[in-house]
Structure 1
Amino acid sequence: MWVIRLLLFALIIFLIYSTVKYLLNPKRKLELAHEQKRFFFLDNKNVRRNFLVTYKGVLFEGEKYLGTTANAFEVVNVFIWPHKVADLNGLVREDFEFIEKKVLDSYPNAAIDWKSPIHEFMNKNYKANTPFKKE
């Protein structure tokens, strides 16, 4: 009888542990934010591992590169690209600037570069918004 009670108690503890672990899983939070078209930044701070960002229903991946700054070794370059280019429909320049700001919050010394087609979009908009200088 005591063995059955002990096994039942162990099963209850295991179920509670599994539920808490599932609810706190960052991948699940990323998927939930992606479905709800919210912002979520998933990064484990390991330079060798890429980070994931979801914003307005678009999933982005970022690759970090370690380099030297004046005082330490830190992430100095970040390349970001979308998983599905077709999902970019409806995003504007301010959306990409928001993502850049959030990435720079985590990696303040990083230079952010977007991969194609966002790179061309950002450069085209920048050139279109700069005033023309007469010589």
Structure 2
Amino acid sequence: MIWVIRLVLLVLIIFIIYRILVFLFHPRRKLELAREQQKFYFYDDADNVRKNFLLTHKGVIFEGEKYLGATKDTFDVVTISIGPQHVMSLKGFVREDFQEIEQKIHEHYPKAIIDWKSPVKEFLYSAK
């Protein structure tokens, strides 16, 4: 009887340690941590084109929608529509910040054309 209790306790301890490790290394948690520290972090499931990606830059979270299309050689992500989750958090952003975000996106999706959502689109194209 005592060995059953020990076995159950051992399994329970292993399960708790596993859940703690899963929590600590989950990419969504890393995204929130990067947002709080105002660092850049790119969270994406590159294998799943239907799933949107999230990125954070200077404490602002952006969501990008990927669209699959044909290129010269292959089917790949050809268009990305991106915008901030909360427009009010863009205070203090300059054009260089958006250009830096575009460069980081092009590192992951080099053939994609980036289409910014409103109001970023108006801001970027107002003084060109």
Unpaired runs of at least 5, structure 2: none
Match in the other structure for 1:13 = 14
1:27 aligns with 2:28: yes
Match in the other structure for 2:122 = 120
Match in the other structure for 2:38 = 37
Shift of 1:92: 0.7
Amino-acid identity (%): 57
1:97 aligns with 2:71: no
Q: Give the ranges of 4+ consecutive aligned residues of structure 1 lying more than 4 Å apart after TM superposition.
A: none
Match in the other structure for 1:130 = none
- TM-score with structure 2 length normalisation? 0.95
Partners in 1 of 2:112 and 2:83 — Cα distance? 16
Unpaired runs of at least 5, structure 1: 128-135
Partners in 2 of 1:2 and 1:63 — Cα distance? 53
- TM-score with structure 1 length normalisation? 0.91
> After the TM superposition, which residues 29-108 of structure 1 pair with which residues of structure 2 at under 5 Å, given as runs?
29-45=30-46, 46-108=48-110
- The DSSP-based 3-state class of the residue aligned with 1:121 is helix
- The DSSP-based 3-state class of the residue aligned with 1:123 is helix
- The DSSP-based 3-state class of the residue aligned with 1:77 is strand
Shift of 1:11: 1.0
Aligned-pair Cα RMSD in Å: 0.8
Shift of 1:58: 0.6
Partners in 1 of 2:108 and 2:37 — Cα distance? 23
Partners in 1 of 2:14 and 2:107 — Cα distance? 39
Shift of 1:70: 0.8
Match in the other structure for 2:4 = 3
Shift of 1:35: 1.2
Match in the other structure for 1:133 = none
Partners in 2 of 1:122 and 1:30 — Cα distance? 25
Shift of 1:16: 1.1
Partners in 2 of 1:8 and 1:115 — Cα distance? 53
Shift of 1:31: 0.9
Larger Rg: 1
